[in-house]
């Protein structure tokens, strides 16, 4: 399945306000190198609606505290991790392109699609899982997904969390090794106190990363409503 997004645009970073000059530059690039859907090749869109919608099939929620099935006998009052798809097929390939091939413009588009699958939760903000310390990427794919959810649900995105230490990349670890993530690996901004927070990431395998981030939020007085990811890796 040689799926390759055919866009020359490497995602205009959204940390600064949109300016006329940047928009003009983007339109100029699209004029000479138009974007196209990576699945069907349709021009004019990063991922067309006809290909975006079938990517998602709502999965059963899982416990945010331990990653187990819901209702969880160990954590009956725990928030839940909600996944829009299985980590397989086109979704798996697109996430790989998003993370490792610098097609960051897929992030907001996939986030928008995820937002159409679920009803907007009652919350104050979206909190993306931060980039690992020392990551070679210049953008955070979880932030891009959160930006798409923001448009779908009308919630703000806060980059208010960070890693406190370097850890081995999750992608090559076994499930048992993933669960060994230190409990104090995250820190969050104290301004989250009293706010209802939704966590956002690209993929969830054991749920440990999201669980650790949720714990850091609670320590600062935030209320973690739940977590949303594009895809879940089946056991």
Q: What's the helix, strand, coil split of the chain in %, to 5?
A: 35, 20, 50
Which pTM value belongs to this model? 0.84
Helix (H) or strand (E) holding 100: helix 89-100
For every residue of 177-227, DSSP letters joined together read HHTT--TT-EEE-GGGTT-EEEEEEEEESSSHHHHHHHHHHHHTT-EEEEE
Residue 15 lies in a domain: no
46 domain-assigned: no
Residue 93 lies in a domain: yes
Structure tokens at 230: 């594009």
CB contact set of 192 (below 8 Å; sequence gap of 6+): 127, 158, 160, 217, 220, 221, 222
Residue 171 lies in a domain: yes
Q: What is the DSSP letter of 40?
A: T
**Closest Cα to residue 94, out of 216, 4, 191?**
4
The secondary element (H helix, E strand) that includes residue 128 is strand 125-128
Number of domains in the chain: 1
Q: Is residue 25 part of a domain?
A: no
Give the span between the Cα atoms of 216 and 227, in whole angstroms.
14
Q: Is 35 part of a structural domain of the chain?
A: no
In a domain, 24, yes or no: no
Domain that residue 208 falls in:
56-232
- Whether 178 maps to a domain, the answer reads yes
Q: What is the CATH number of the domain that holds 63?
A: 3.40.50
Tokens 């697109």 belong to 94
Distance, in Å, from the CA atom of 136 to the CA atom of 41, rounded to the nearest integer, reads 29
The pLDDT profile of the chain, 235 residues, written as one tens digit per residue, is 344 433 333 333 344 444 556 555 555 545 555 688 989 988 888 899 999 999 999 999 999 999 999 999 999 999 999 999 999 999 999 999 999 888 899 999 999 999 999 999 999 999 999 998 888 888 999 999 999 999 999 999 999 999 998 877 666 666 666 677 888 999 999 999 999 999 999 999 999 999 999 999 999 999 999 999 999 998 7
């Amino acid at each position: 399945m040689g799926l390759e997004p055919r866009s020359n645009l490497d995602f205009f970073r959204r940390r600064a306000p949109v300016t006329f000059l940047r928009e003009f530059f983007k339109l100029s690039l699209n004029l000479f190198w138009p974007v196209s859907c990576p699945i069907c090749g349709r021009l004019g869109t990063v991922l067309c609606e006809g290909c975006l919608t079938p990517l998602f099939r709502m999965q059963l929620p899982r416990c945010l505290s331990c990653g187990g099935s819901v209702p969880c006998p160990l954590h009956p009052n725990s928030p839940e991790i909600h996944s829009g798809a299985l980590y397989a097929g086109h979704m798996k390939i697109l996430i790989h392109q998003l993370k490792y091939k610098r097609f960051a413009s897929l992030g907001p588009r996939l986030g928008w699609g995820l937002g159409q699958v679920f009803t907007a939760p009652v919350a104050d903000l979206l909190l993306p899982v931060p980039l690992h310390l020392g990551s070679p990427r210049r953008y955070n794919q979880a932030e891009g997904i959160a930006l798409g959810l923001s448009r779908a649900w009308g919630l703000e995105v806060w980059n208010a969390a960070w890693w406190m230490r370097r850890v081995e990349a999750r992608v090559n670890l076994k499930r048992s090794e993933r669960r060994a993530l230190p409990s104090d690996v995250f820190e969050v901004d104290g301004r989250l106190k009293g706010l209802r927070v939704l966590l956002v990431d690209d993929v969830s395998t054991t749920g440990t990363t999201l669980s650790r981030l949720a714990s850091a939020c609670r320590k600062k007085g935030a209320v973690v409503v739940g977590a949303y990811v594009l895809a879940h890796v089946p056991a």
